[in-house]
Structure 1
Amino acid sequence: MTHTSNPSADMTIAWQGTRKDNSEMKHDRGSGRTRPRLKLLAGLAATVFLGGCVSFSQDAGLSVAQTVAYTDLGKDVVKITGEAEALAAQTRAEELLRRPLTPDGAVQIALLKNRGLQAAFNDLGVSEAAYVQASLPPSPRVSLGRSGLLGGGAFEVERQLMIGLFELATLPQRAAVAQQEFRAAQFRTAEAVLSLGAEARRQYYRAVAANQRVAFMQQALATAETASELAKQLGETGALNKLEQAREHAFYQELGAQLAQARIEQKVERERLIRQLGLWGRDITFTLPGTLPPLPSRLATQRDVESEALARRVDLQALRNDLNAVAGQYSLDVIQSVVSDIELVEGSSFGKSKTVDDHGEVEIEKEKSRTRGIEVSFTIPIFDFGETTRRGAQEAYMAAANRLAERAVNVRSEAREAYAVYRGKHDLARHYQNRVLPLQKRIQDEALLQYSGMLVDVSQLIIDARTRILSNVDAINARRDFWIAATDLKAALVGGLNGGGGAGGGETTTAAAGGEAAGGGH
């Protein structure tokens, strides 16, 4: 960050040292005092030049993102810079798309094909270029001037070469600030990798759950169609009255409408997954499984999720580097509130004039002089003594410190919340699987037996069927939400949680899906 200079810094004083005329310069050249001094300053400048410069990294600054992707996701990330990389990424993606897509396969494809992530890699390249630029010494400034024609056709030309010694002196510090800013950008790019990977995994589970709901609704519709045909036949024989026939037919039509809605959701979730993966053309014809993965036999233990999140979250590491950069900039701002610049000056000037002697002959006179020295420019703090710059730098530092502290507090809470949701969603999905669905199946079987024995009417049978359908849809949603919660827990510990809207992001999805299912089944 760079603060603007003091508004009161309109008045400057410039001091030109060792400015001499021809005779003085000749004396100094004879004494040998000026040239060694300039050589010393030039040597100092060269030392700073060589010590402060950095070069572009071979991996385009992706070392942090690549390490995080491999360590935390078990995946590879590649920056597409040419045809060779694009072809390799496409080949790898096609290999993963030839068979039914898995959660890990979806994450890897997204990291290879998503153009938004590639844009984040390009932004990191811009940050690296700014870092390299900040490590370079200031470019010399050349000043050329020519005065107007004087009497007798005389004129004067002045040339100066100036190098900012203040910028040279602060080059290591400015490079250190830029390094911290670039380091923060590296961790933010790593966070973008984690965020994309987490969201691709979440969307994968949503799309597969939509497939499973459609498959279940198709089975329920086939059963309802059989019951509707049976009701029609029983009505023709007089064994079933018209009211009960109408109820069976209405139930069948309602299931048809719910299946149509489920198919719409299936297409929407698939398209959202396609966008996350960055696919188009023939690649979008990939196959998804018909059911979600089974619940794991063992759950992750709680351990100390707060400490783990504080140690591993990449967004915290980015903010730590931000704070270090602001701290370094604070020192620069304090110095710059007093001294504006110090320049090393090497210049020369010469003039020409012509005169006519008594015999009418033209004589050309030349005069040349050289200028060497140091020029200092500094602000006169006549209003605030640089206080506004120092105060602004201090406030900027405290703001960065408070942002880091706030994130640390939130990270602890997010880790606890994510683990609580993870355990709760598992217990809920297990409850549906082991308790609710077996009971609903038993109720349906008993109802069919009693219906066959004419002990219950068709209305009770339809009510029980609706309840069982709703329970199965809720069970599918509960399993989907568990896998999303497992993704959120991992993101809460390493980074990328924001893509899911927080640790409880699955609850909103569940409520929406459940509401639609409930609304369609009344």
Structure 2
Amino acid sequence: MTRVLSPAHLHLAAAAGLSVLLSSCASFSPDGGVTVAAQAARHEFGMDVVALRSDEDVDWAKSRMAQLLRRPLTIDSAVEIALLNNRGLQSAFNRLGVAEAIMAREKLPPNPTFSFSRLAGPLGSEVEGAIVANILALATWPARAEIAEDRFRAAQFEAAAETLRLGYEARRAYFRAVGAREIANSIGEVNQSTQAVAALARRLGETGAASRLDQAKDQLSSAETATRLASARLQASNERERLIRVLGLWGMEVNFVLPNVLSPPPSRPRSLPYLEQDAIDRRIELRTAHAELSALAKTLGLIEATRFINLFELSGGHKVKTESLPNPESGLTETTRFRFSGGAAAIQIPIFDFGETKVREAEQSWLEAVNRLTKKAVDVRSQARQTYRNYRYAHEIARFRKREILALQAIVSEEMLRRYNGMLVDAFPLLENARKRVLLQAAAIEAKRDYWLAETDLRAAISGPAEAIVGMVGDGAAELGVERP
């Protein structure tokens, strides 16, 4: 039976609703939910990450970045600048702020609806006021708040994943830029010697001491080295621009100084006996998928609980009707006022839709998330194994090229120069040896670069997010003469 509300009851309900609204103001975390991303950056890179949401934050970031750019760029300073200055990461933090605002809104109680109407005519007027409360929304409020928290947690993991992705991208861009610079410098040093030998060959040709064929071969070898140098310098410029984009630099900031050489690989590779388990425990994509799965499971439970009732509202109203009628006895117009109070309930009757379609949709979405999470776990294990194999091969190749191939090439170069000085060979074998030295030195530098890229990919495969793995780096194990690790 519907209970009729008196005016006093209506005023009390309005006051209660107003007090609930005032006590349930939206609250936000002090850091905007960046805690998870900051913890990930601190654990993986040993540095903090800041969401630039005030002028003070921007000024501090600029000051810190200027301090880092005054010195030659290191791998740590490159990653720190990217985390401070890359606007793509800041836009990810803005999306996180949107997710937090949605969570704060969902954690608030449903707003009541107040209505007021007035009708006036020649014989009187009507004034009506009502308050409507969505009882179903109020009953499901705690469940919806929990779902919003799970979705916000997933958004936090997504922001952390973007932070890690940018950090690893900065590492890759740094290694490519420094490696390309080292290759260009190496070819430049060889090019100077080849140009000197080629000039000597031209003078010998002018005196008739060298044949036309020998001159052409010397000039061809010198021209090939010069072409390789031009290509290497262009590649170094392109890789530097890629690094600039990742760091988010512009203007005078792009005039930073890069080191001339990459650090050599360590003498021993890392040993990871619990590689797969570490990847399963730490991979950020799996944590994101778990949070999304939890939100979908709770959504499915909420839909199943409310499948038959989509609308349930209670309302209370107060109506004042004023009529002006003539009095036959006195001949005057008298005003009479009538007051009406009452309540009403509205509920949606499931005649055509019993909620089965919504339940089926939520159930399939949840099953899709389960299967997606399972597939991701399988992929994570496979990526961890594959990146570790690539890492071990890259380490062996880099060490083998430096320890064996470059050492043998140094002996060959020394012997060729000794024979040339003793006039046992002409200039062409010396130039040909210089051309081979260019190729071998470039390959050794690339192997060193590939090691650091493989090491970065391995770290990303454990903590995430990992990029697509394209296969073995370098030239393979055939050149090593060793079995697969």
The alignment covers a number of residue pairs equal to 474
Match in the other structure for 1:416: 385
Secondary structure at the counterpart of residue 31 of structure 2: coil
Q: 1:83-122 to 2 correspondence within 5 Å?
A: 83-122=55-94
Q: Which residue among 258, 279, 284 is the counterpart of 2:254?
A: 284
* Letter of the 2:38 counterpart: Q
Q: Supply the distance in 1 between the matched residues of 2:471 and 2:87 (Cα, whole angstroms).
A: 25
Query: Structure 2: how far apart are the matches of 1:70 and 1:487?
Result: 16
Structure 1 pair 426–325 and aligned structure 2 pair: CA distance change class (3 A): same
Question: 1:493 is matched by which residue type in structure 2?
Answer: I
TM-superposed CA distance for 1:157, in Å, is 3.0
Distance 2:278 2:255 in 1: 40
1:486 match: 455
Structure 1 counterpart of 2:226:
256
Q: 1:47 to 1:158 in 2, by over 3 A?
A: closer
Q: State the match for 1:468 in structure 2.
A: 437
Contact 1:337-1:379 at 8 Å conserved across structures: no
Do residues 368 (structure 1) and 339 (structure 2) align? yes
Report the residue type matching 1:75 in the other structure. M
Superposed displacement of residue 172, structure 1: 0.6
Question: Alignment partner for residue 286 of structure 2, among 302, 316, 327?
Answer: 316
Aligned position for 2:145: 175
Preserved CA contact (<8 Å) 2:112 2:134: yes
Q: Does 1:62 align with 2:34?
A: yes
- Shift in Å at residue 458 of structure 1? 4.7
What's the CA shift for 1:294?
1.2
Q: Which moved more, 1:214-223 or 1:459-468?
A: 459-468
CA distance in structure 1 between the aligned counterparts of 2:136 and 2:12, rounded to whole angstroms = 17
Structure 2 stretches of 5 or more lacking a match? 476-485
What residue number does 1:426 align with?
A: 395
Alignment partner, residue 269 of structure 1: 239
Matched, 1:404 2:373: yes
Q: Secondary structure at the match of 1:212?
A: helix
Task: Choose which of 445, 461, 467 in structure 1 pairs with 2:414.
Answer: 445
Query: What percentage of aligned pairs have identical amino acids?
Result: 39
| Post-superposition offset of 1:50 | 9.4
Q: Deviations over 1:68-97 (max 9, x none)?
A: 111221011111112211111111111111
Q: Matched residues in 2 for 1:320 and 1:46: separation?
A: 38
Partner of 1:10: none
1:165 is aligned, of 118, 122, 135, to 135
Mapped partners of 1:404, 1:53: distance in 2: 36
Q: How far apart, in 1, do the equivalents of 2:336 and 2:237 lie?
A: 90
TM-score normalised by L of structure 2: 0.91
Q: Deviations over 1:210-255 (max 9, x none)?
A: 1101101111110101111111222233221111012112221221
1:394 is aligned, of 357, 360, 363, to 363
CA RMSD of aligned residues (A): 2.6
Please give the alpha-carbon distance, in whole angstroms, between the structure 1 residues aligned to 2:25 and 2:373: 30
Give the CA deviation at 1:469.
1.3
Given the superposition, is the C-alpha separation of residues 51 and 481 from structure 1 closer, same or farther in structure 2, using an over 3 Å criterion?
farther
- 1:199 Cα deviation (Å)? 0.4
Letter paired with 1:388 = T
- 1:451 to partner: Cα distance: 4.1
In the superposition, relative to structure 1, how do residues 365 and 49 fare at CA in structure 2: closer, same or farther (>3 Å)?
closer
CA 1:350–1:314 in 2, change beyond 3 Å: closer, same or farther? same
Closer/same/farther in 2, CA of residues 340 and 78 from structure 1, 3 Å limit: same
Question: Match for residue 110 of structure 2?
Answer: 138
Gap runs ≥5 in structure 1: 1-15, 512-522
The SS at the match of 1:279 is: coil
> Separation in 1 of the partners of 2:97 and 2:310?
31
1:378 and 2:333 correspond: no
Give the aligned residue type for 2:176: R
Residue 12 of structure 1: aligned partner: none
Q: CA separation of 1:47/1:365 partners in 2, compared to 1, >3 Å: closer, same or farther?
A: closer
CA distance in 1, matches of 2:304, 2:233: 64
| Correspondence for 1:293 | 263
Aligned to 2:480: none
Whether the aligned pair in 1 keeps the contact of 2:171 and 2:456 (CA below 8 Å) is yes
Contact between 1:147 and 1:155, CA under 8 Å: does it hold in 2? yes
Q: Deviations over 1:143-168 (max 9, x none)?
A: 2344574xx62443322111111111
Contact 1:484 1:506 (C-alpha < 8 Å) held by counterparts: no
Asked if the contact 1:198–1:497 (Cα under 8 Å) also holds between the matched residues in 2, the reply is no
Alpha-carbon distance in structure 2 between the residues aligned to 1:308 and 1:177: 28
Q: Deviations over 1:314-342 (max 9, x none)?
A: 11111100000001111222233311222
Q: Which amino acid aligns with 2:76?
A: D
1:332 aligned onto 2:302: yes
